[in-house]
Amino acid sequence: MPNTIQLLPDHVANQIAAGEVVQRPASVVKELMENAIDAGATDIKLLIKDAGKNLVQVIDNGKGMNAYDAKLCFERHATSKIKNAQDLFNLHTKGFRGEALASIAAIAQVELKTKLEDEEVGTAIKIEGSSIGSQEVIACPKGTSIAVKNLFFNIPARRKFLKSDAIETRHIIDEFQRVALAHPQIAFSMHHNNNEVYHLTVSNLRKRVVAIFGSKMNEKLVPIDENTDILSLQGFVAKPNFAKKKRGEQFFFVNDRFIKNSYLNHAVSSAFEGLLEHGTYPSYFLYLTVPSDSIDINIHPTKTEIKFDNEKDLYAILRATVKHSLGQYNVAPVLDFNRDASLDVPYEYKEKKSYGGAPAIKIDPNFNPFASEPLHQEMESAFQREETTWEAHQSTITPYESNFQEELFDNQKETDTSKTFQIQRKYLLSSIKSGMVLIHQSLAHQRILYEDFLESITVKDAVSQQLLFPVSISFARDEIEMIKGIKSDLESVGFLFEEFEKETLIVKGIPTSLSESQITPVLEQLLDDIKQEVPDASFSHFDIMAKSFAKSLAIKTGATLNSKEQETLVNNLFSCKEPSVSPFGKTIFKTLTIKEIDAVFNSH
């Protein structure tokens, strides 16, 4: 009987290891930049082409390597940073996993140039799929340059699963920001397709945060500073009035390493208790320094999760420090237990004198509580685009929708009263022959807008309205880069841009479905959706854009609709191709038959 267990060839083992270490171009960026920091570099350059799919290059001015080390660093389990197993629990360096460079070389074409400071010449090595193609002596500056080209060239199945350029670029920028925020004492630069995204000079923590997230960030920051026997804590939290609807700008660093920790995140959030609007999250940049033997960073392959020996103590210190800083800088309310706040006189009444006589009563003789409510201006403009008769859509309606609509028409013939009713400014109730249908108004409008946008983007020519005065909008540099990446898609929808600056976007035209006041929230929502990869649109950004626009512009729960608006919403919903679910897969309506309604009253 033949043997069934056999040793894998090195190149296959390296490809398997690469699956753990290299998930996408951003993984390569992280490994190479961390190695540059460990090499003592004071200036690190990151060059990217085509979202890292065709090139990820890191150039540093660190100590470099000799010819022997340059070749050995691509071998599996080769590292300069650990000597024995005990070193794993006392790490002071970044990248220490010996298979990282070997894994990268197994799935890409790698060119390495490196030179020691006291050597006259350096070494150049070319590797393709774990095989060394050439090694030669060259003249080059001190430090190391590693260029990783055509990632996953020999594993097309892995390359196929990479996301769009905008999403992959977003992941690269995330990794760049995390490394740059952790090391303000190092100069960093980043170029994508020969365009400069970041040029960060040596600075302090505050200046580094502002340089990355834009000059407007400076006014938002509240400093944090605390030193105890078990923890040193520095950094910043953003003022509560600048809280965001997404968990974007939340950064924890432990011993200069970016980490994710939901327990510590809860500590910060609890310090903001009572200061944030519902559904918003605080921004923070917090740097923790703890003894290296009190943490274990080997519990996750990417080393972004850490196990602490004394989590509860850290939680208490973190929460108390943030809370204290918010109060110290007059952000949080301060309680004075020696004073009864209910006895305070409002400021506007302090200088007023009391006077006799009854207060005057003002009456509006034109007020009529029974007057009909005017159409909401924004609702009217939103529905004007969608206004259509039932007959115009009969040719495109499925049998299910046609039957449903016939019931609505029959019901309208039987009674002269309005066929729809609004409940709690959230649902629409409509009577049909078989019972009634309950419709979620916001989700219904999302579906209508989504299909309308998709049709406008993919079938019709985009219609743009020129703005009388161009609108200037401030974004962080990485967000400007993201918008540049989807500029052509945005223009196909109807946006027109005058120019892009480092932190400013000038819009001169917008889709006819938007108002000027909606430009910023719509673009912010779109950027958030791309960052979160929600939804995952593998074919293009059109689906992301259509869903983002629909979510931003749809009427919200709490909006009052008059009878005409209600009927228009119902009509347009059941003219959609998929009226039963929202663009995000949520149920839009529920039908209740007469039998189901009778069962409610006959249950006892």
Comparing 102-106, 140-144, 251-255, the range with the smallest average pLDDT is 102-106
Q: Taking a C-beta distance cutoff of 8 angstroms, is the pair 572, 448 a contact?
A: yes
Residue 408 lies in a domain: yes
Residue 395 buriedness (CB in 10 A; 0-12 / 13-18 / 19+): exposed
Q: For residue 587, is pLDDT > 90?
A: yes
**Between 476 and 297, where is the model more confident?**
476
Grade residue 527 by pLDDT with cuts at 50, 70 and 90: confident
pTM (two decimals)? 0.66
Same domain as 456, residue 537: yes
C-alpha dist (Å) from residue 406 to 401, 432, 440, 517: 9, 9, 21, 39
Q: Given the structure tokens 């605390």, which residue do they identify?
A: 226
Predicted local distance difference test score (pLDDT) of residue 533:
60
Instruction: Using the predicted structure, report yes or no on whether residue 402 has a pLDDT greater than 70.
Output: no
DSSP assignments along 210-262, one per residue: HHHH-GGGGGGEEEEEEE-SS-EEEEEEE-GGG-BSSS-SEEEEETTEEE--H
pLDDT at 301 over 70: no
19: phi then psi, degrees, rounded to nearest 5: -60, -30
**Per the domain annotation, does 195 fall within a domain?**
yes
The stretch 8-36 carries a mean pLDDT of 77
The answer as to whether 166 is a domain residue is yes
Task: Give the pLDDT of residue 430.
Answer: 87
Average pLDDT estimate for 108-114: 94
> What is residue 380's predicted lDDT score, i.e. its pLDDT?
46
Q: Are 170 and 221 in the same domain?
A: no
Average pLDDT over the chain reads 78
How far apart, in whole angstroms, are the C-alpha atoms of residue 496 and residue 487?
A: 9
Q: Specify whether 268 is located in the same domain as 160.
A: no
Tokens at 512, concatenated: 């006819």
Which of 253-257, 402-406, 518-522 bottoms out in mean pLDDT, i.e. has the lowest?
402-406
Residues 16 and 90 in one domain: yes
pLDDT for the residue numbered 460: 64
Q: 487 in a domain, yes or no?
A: yes
Looking at residue 407, what is its pLDDT?
Answer: 53
Dump pLDDT digits (tens) for 135-146: 999 999 999 999
Whether residues 459 and 576 fall in one domain: yes
Tokens, residue 231: 């923890």
* pLDDT of res. 320: 93
Domains: count for the chain: 3
Mean pLDDT of 214-243: 90
Shared domain check, 211 and 196: no
Q: What is the pLDDT of residues 70-85, one digit of tens each?
A: 888 888 665 555 444 4
| Residue 381: pLDDT over 60 | no
CA–CA gap between residue 168 and residue 510 (Å, rounded):
27
pLDDT score, position 242: 86
Asked whether residue 433 carries a pLDDT value surpassing 50, the answer given is yes
Same-domain pairing of 318 and 411: no
> Residues 549, 400: one domain?
yes
What's the confidence (pLDDT) of residue 542? Answer: 72
Containing domain of residue 498, as a range?
375-604
- Range 421-441 average pLDDT: 88
Q: What angle do CA 596, 597, 598 make, to 5 degrees?
A: 90
Of 148, 178, 200, the residue that ends a domain is 200
What is the arithmetic mean of pLDDT over 246-266? Answer: 87
pLDDT at 369 over 90: no
CATH number at residue 429: 3.30.1370.100
Per-residue pLDDT tens digits for 323-368 = 999 888 765 554 444 444 444 444 344 444 444 445 454 555 555 5
**Residues 170 and 262 reside in one and the same domain:** no
**Can you give the CATH number for the domain in which 245 is found?**
3.30.230.10
Residue 20's CATH number? 3.30.565.10
Amino acid at 504: T
Percentage of the chain lying above the pLDDT 90 cut: 31
Boundary residue ending a domain (172, 200, 228): 200
Let me know whether 74 and 157 are in one domain.
yes
- Which strand (E) or helix (H) includes residue 571? helix 563-573
- Name which of 115-119, 232-236, 289-293, 458-462 the model is least confident about: 458-462
Predicted confidence band of residue 101 (pLDDT cuts 50, 70, 90)? confident
CA 138 to CA 64: how far, in whole Å?
Answer: 14
Domain assignment present for residue 3? The answer is no
Identify which of 203-217, 338-352, 509-523 has the greatest average pLDDT.
203-217
* In a shared domain, residues 187 and 240: no
> What pLDDT score does 198 carry?
92
Same-domain pairing of 539 and 564:
yes
Report in angstroms the alpha-carbon separations of 60 from 1, 44, 225, 232, 444: 55, 5, 32, 30, 54
Question: What pLDDT was estimated at residue 603?
Answer: 66
Among 159, 183, 200, the domain boundary falls at: 200
pLDDT tens-digit map of 34-70:
999 999 999 999 999 999 999 999 999 999 999 998 8
Asked whether the predicted pLDDT for residue 86 surpasses 80, the reply is no
